[in-house]
Amino acid sequence: MPLLPGELLHHRYRIVVPLAIGAYGATYRAWDATDRRDVAIKEYLDASVEIQKRFRAEARRLAALSHPQLPQVLDHFALDNGQYLVSSYVDGVDLQTLLDRYGPLPTDLIAPWLQAATAPLAYLHGQNRLHLNIKPANLRLTPAGELFLVDSGLPGLGVRPHAPGYGAPEQQAQGAVGPTADVYSLGATLYSLLTGKLPPNALSRETGLSDLTPAREVNPNVEPYLSLVAGRAMSLRPDTRYDTAADFARALERPAGRPAPVVSPLRRAGSDPTPAANAAPPPRVVPRSRRRMEPRSIFGLAALVLVVLAVGALYLLNNLEEPEPVAGAAATGTLQSAVIAALTQLAPTPSPTPEPTIPPTPTPQPLITQTDSRMIYIPGGTFTLGNDASEENDEKPAQTVRIDAFYIDETEVTNAAYAQCVAAEACPRPDRAGATYYNSYYGDAAFDDYPVINVSWFDADAFCAWQGARLPSEAEWEYAASFDPIESVKYQFPWGDTFDGERLNFCDVNCPRDDRSLEWDDGFRDTAPVGTYPGGRSPMGVYDMLGNVMEWVGDWYDFDAYEDIADTNPRGPVDGEFKSLRGGSWLTPLDELGVAARDNFDPTVSQANLGFRCAMPPP
């Protein structure tokens, strides 16, 4: 039972009101009778000697922290029933109270508040400290508009309160935690503020007992990019969340070109207030004195009358020979029409104001790598990963995912480029120097522009790391291979939905397999120089995404990977037995080709039809 208001604690601190009550104790607002100021007191109900030692050490570490958006630790002491930590009290209102009072809050307020919250959190992480108790109730807004992060979870004691819905799965499971656990809590707080709903428990999501409904589906007024930010921050896997609090803050920035919502100067929750019963009487109209017409106005009217008379006379003269004159109202109407037509011809025709031309947003130029190869910019977007129409079950169920912008090699890595990494002693030589039909391949200048082959996944990973890059994920590879950002469509093949054997190097008439396609001849028995088929480029300009050589990607292979994946930048399992492959090769028959087709090998395998390309985030 919490302490009652008026209780005197440690002969100094008089309890004012409990602020929060949890499993380990309570947090109180109290009055410091000695220094005559408001304080906050955190109670931890465990009086064991070991906990006392750890509590004192933790209190000293917290007292050493200093940030303008964190409460200052002032005192700590132990009583018979437990430990107490005293800190400065932050006056104001917490975001949970606002949420309870108003429901989902405006996004133009939420984003700056949470960006402000990342500043003290980044400071804590820089001090090798975690908060582990981030939720709307622990974000306090002062009367001056400053946002404070309060009520840490005392991680030095092993206390991980993980309020329902806000704790990361690894935090709840009492496993190893890092800064990404706090990022999860930030995402859950964002979700709650956007929707007015408590997020589902992370462990329930892991076990399939509950699902995270995107914030925009809960509240259609949520801006799409904020729904995606919340979803990514709340990924069940730590390595797919934002790496740091600063990354989370940057993600909250409004995307370029997206207009800010229109905000009225003063907003109110709910419907407009009803008018008062006794409305104020209408203002009395003050009579105005009559204005006298100035002489120049009189001359202007006289001139206008003369013009009208002249036009009328011309009209009558032109119609004297008419056999049947029109009389009465019809004549008056005809005369008026003629006058109006004449005046219209005399009046200048206004020129329409041209619409301003909005310059297009320039696409970033390709990057030139240290091997003089090109990396193509792939803009971020949303597309469907997988193929529900496929006969291969590892391509199902198709999932809509968001991919952040990245760069990818325009072509597969060549023999010449890989040789530079070998010369720098950063990569091992390929396992074999020859190819299927050539005794000399790697190291032969005639094949410098051909894709490097006979390299394992580890060799490919070493090359990309040497270039300051990495292997693409399966989702990035499929997105770059198939999606047209202008038409917002995904194709079955890089060039469209109809197969064309002249746009790629695959198992055609030259292939040794029994199931080869005899009606096509791509001109090569095995590998072809990179970029040989410009007609086979993807909509974003990437060569050879189908055929030539299979390509290692970064993910571990999981047959059921699409059953439960992150909706933003999905990655494969954290470990596994086989690495994923994409794209097919010169040895792949037609019925196994497609941008969604998946394959896998042991990462130590090297073959004459297996190569790779690299990817990297925008610099």
Task: Please check whether residue 50 lies inside any domain of the structure.
Answer: yes
Residues 520 and 560 occupy one common structural domain: yes
**Measured CA distances, 279 to 107, 158, 507 (Å):** 35, 62, 85
| Per-residue pLDDT tens over the stretch 517-554 | 999 998 899 999 999 999 999 999 999 999 999 999 99
Residue 386 φ/ψ region, left for φ over 0, alpha for ψ in the -120 to 50 degree band, beta for the rest: left
Which range marks the domain in which residue 407 is found? 363-619
Angle at 39 between CA 38 and CA 41, to 5 degrees: 150
Stretch 228-236: mean pLDDT, rounded?
Answer: 92
In this structure, is residue 303 part of a structural domain?
Answer: no
| pLDDT tens per residue across span 107-129 | 899 999 999 999 999 999 999 99
Residue 474 sits in the same domain as residue 375: yes
Last residue of a domain, which of 235, 251, 267? 251
- 471 and 504 inside one domain: yes
Instruction: Output the CA torsion sign for 253, 255, 259, 262.
Output: negative
Is the same domain home to 18 and 126? no
In a domain, 350, yes or no: no
Are the CB atoms for 614 and 472 separated by under 8 Å?
yes
Whole-prediction pTM value? Answer: 0.48
For residue 489, the model assigns a pLDDT of 94
CB 484 within 8 A of CB 494: no
116-to-99, 252, 263, 462, 514 alpha-carbon distances in Å: 18, 11, 20, 39, 64
Q: By 3-state DSSP, what share of the chain in percent is helix, strand and coil, each rounded to 5? A: 30, 15, 55
| Section 482-507 average pLDDT | 94
> Angle at which helices 328-346 and 295-318 pack, to 10 degrees?
120
502 and 410 together in one domain: yes
pLDDT grade for 358, boundaries at 50, 70 and 90:
very low
Angle between helices 415-423 and 457-466 in degrees, nearest 10: 70
Q: Which of 251, 278, 310 is the last residue of a domain?
A: 251
pLDDT at residue 566 above 60? yes
CB contact set of 471 (below 8 Å; sequence gap of 6+): 457, 460, 461, 464, 552, 553, 554, 612, 614, 615
Phi and psi at residue 554, in whole multiples of 5°?
-75, -20
Give yes or no for residue 56 having a pLDDT over 50.
yes
Supply the CATH number for residue 20's domain.
Answer: 3.30.200.20
Check which CATH number belongs to the domain holding 160 and give it.
1.10.510.10
Reduced 3-state DSSP string for 396-417: CCCEEEEECCEEEECCCCEHHH
* Structural contact between residues 475 and 554, judged by C-beta atoms closer than 8 angstroms: no
Q: Which of 88, 120, 147 is the last residue of a domain?
A: 88
Q: Is residue 28 part of a domain?
A: yes
Give pLDDT tens digits for 311-339: 556 555 555 444 444 444 444 444 444 44
Q: Which helix (H) or strand (E) holds 114?
A: helix 107-126
| Residue 340: inside a domain | no
SS3 string, 174-189, reads CCCCCHHHHHHHHHHH
pLDDT digits (tens, 9 = 90+) for 252-269: 998 765 566 656 455 555
Query: What is the pLDDT, as a whole number, of residue 284?
Result: 40
Residue 566: how many CA atoms within 13 Å on its side-chain side?
A: 27
Q: Are residues 615 and 475 in the same domain?
A: yes
Contacts of 77 (CB under 8 A, 6+ apart): 10, 83, 84, 86
Q: What is the average pLDDT value for the chain, to the nearest integer?
A: 84
CATH of the domain at 569: 3.90.1580.10
Peptide bond into 397 cis (omega under 30): yes
Number of residues that this document lists for the chain = 619
Q: What is the pLDDT of residue 338?
A: 47
Co-location of 528 and 482 in the same domain: yes
Q: Is residue 332 part of a domain?
A: no
Element spanning 463, H or E: helix 457-466
Residue 351 lies in a domain: no
| Structural domains counted in the chain | 3
Residues 399, 431: one domain? Answer: yes
Range in 201-210, 300-309, 374-383, 435-444 with the lowest mean pLDDT: 300-309
Q: Which residues pair with 15 in a beta bridge?
A: 30
Q: What one-character-per-residue DSSP string does 293-344 give?
A: PPHHHHHHHHHHHHHHHHHHHHHHHHTTT-SS---HHHHHHHHHHHHHHHHH
- Domain shared by 183 and 232, yes or no: yes
The answer on pLDDT for 351 being more than 80 is no
Q: Are residues 546 and 577 in the same domain?
A: yes
The 10s digit of each residue's pLDDT in 58-81 is 888 888 899 999 999 999 888 888
Under 8 Å between Cβ of 459 and 611: no
Q: Which two tokens stand for residue 507?
A: 């198992």
Q: What is the mean pLDDT of residues 552-564?
A: 94
Looking at the fold, whether 80 and 179 belong to one and the same domain comes out as: no
In a domain, 301, yes or no: no
Do 58 and 97 lie in one domain? The reply is no
